[in-house]
Homo-oligomer: A and B are copies of this chain.
Amino acid sequence: MAASRNGQSPGVFRANRRHFLLGGAIAGIGATTAVAADYALGSGRRPEQDPTPTPLNGSNTVPFYGEHQAGIATDAQAYATVLALDIRAGVDRDGLRRMMLILTDDAARLTQGQSALADAEPELAVAPARLTVTFGFGQRFVEIAQAEAPGWLRPLPSFGVDRLEPAFSDGDLLIQVAADDPLTIAHTARMLLKDARTFTTVRWTQNGFRRAHGSVKAGTTMRNLFGQVDGTSNPVPGTDGFDHVVWNTDGWLAGGTSVVVRRISMDLDKWDRLDRGGKEQSVGRYLSNGAPLTSSSVGEAAEFDEPDFAATSRAGFPVIPEFSHIARARSDHEDERIFRRAYNYDDRPADDAISNSGLLFISFQADVDAQFVPIQDRLDQLDLLNEWTIPIGSAVFAVPPGCLDGGYVGETILG
């Protein structure tokens, strides 16, 4: 397919192009030298560089082709830009197929550090930094594709806590672009949007971040802007439990999954008025290490201790309040589990505010109605955290399986 778009052997093209680009991208002197000079000149300032050079992580790649799309079981990258597109009127099934062929080819190249075909800024493609591109199909996409939609592929039932804004909700095609480098994400998102422009318009875009790659130990559970350890109780990729929770096994979605994207506004000012004890009670975990309140607040291992919801204080009250977030989110049903892969957002504050912050909640699960909705129902009815958080965006997409070299994402309904 690659050769069909420029008539050149992709292998040769890539080798030459990469050599050419890398020559330009990795420059020799600059601020590192400058800092050393500063030090040598005896200005008294310590060098501000790492004492030892670290290996470059810009060249790390995540395989694109496979049974499942990348960007789901992939250890979450530092940044994500999530795009929701609307299909233009008049685009038919054949149009969708052509679009997904092109977008798949772009994603396959860019994730491996190669420029896309007709890439106007090929120099920006040289540092993939674990780039992944993950596609999801909305209700209307599946309709136009004339495929059978799973019952859950529709807006979520409305929850009492929701204050949804159309500017952050719904959409026909989702593209999650994630990487450890923000320049790579900006270039990739633009490249994909250029190639999708004939077929779609931008409905919304949301940017999110975690700790930078290398800031803290790999595998550290993220913290959100409330300071909470967020995502402790999550299925672990590579285990049977994860596979059961995440991968769908039905028809064209076999090897795929569903994604729920919700924008959760967090009222940091109100949160800050709560004392530390109150904050910990509202979640049911210590802020220090994320351990359940029935465990130890010290030591990294305690984070993963099982909460003891039966434990009571000397006064007879539950140690983990029954209205705390973890008590309400917990299900007795084995099947009511989801895999969370969230990002923080921190946008320009409006009016008199000093923050416009929250969580770009992203969860993957085989079946939205069977797994996500019951949890959200319980949280909607009663969850202490609702006092400080408001969902302001919501969208659901079917995430098709991955593809092999020569195939494309979406071939199971468009092929």
Contact = CB atoms under 8 A, between A and B. Distances in A.
The copy count of this chain in the complex is: 2
B23 A48 contact: no
A397 interface: no
Interface stretch (A100-108, A133-141, A216-224, A370-378): A216-224
A389 interface: no
A48 B128 CA distance: 13
Contacts of A24: 229, 286-290, 297-298, 300, 303
A63 B39 CA distance: 13
Contacts of A89: none
Given A60-B50, A211-B58, A238 B23 contact: no
Contact of A298 (B20, B35, B223, B298): B20
A98 interface: no
A216 B50 CA distance: 14
Counting contact residues on chain A (CB < 8 A from B), the size range is 35 or more
A334 interface: no
A41 interface: yes
A313 interface: no
A287 B272 CA distance: 48
Interface stretch (A157-165, A348-356, A359-367): A348-356
B212 A129 contact: yes
A277 interface: no
B236 A183 contact: no
Contact of A75 (B31, B39, B120, B121): B31
Given A236-B37, A354-B190, A32 B182 contact: no
A206 to B, nearest CB: 8
A86 to B, nearest CB: 11
A269 to B, nearest CB: 8
A74 interface: yes
A287 B180 CA distance: 24
Contact of A121 (B36, B53, B126, B227): B227
Interface string A379-411: 000000000000000000000000000000000
Interface stretch (A144-152, A193-201, A320-328): A193-201
Contacts of A299: 23
Q: Shortest 8 CB-CB distances between A and B: which pairs? A: A38-B238, A30-B219, A58-B215, A24-B289, A121-B227, A32-B219, A31-B75, A24-B288
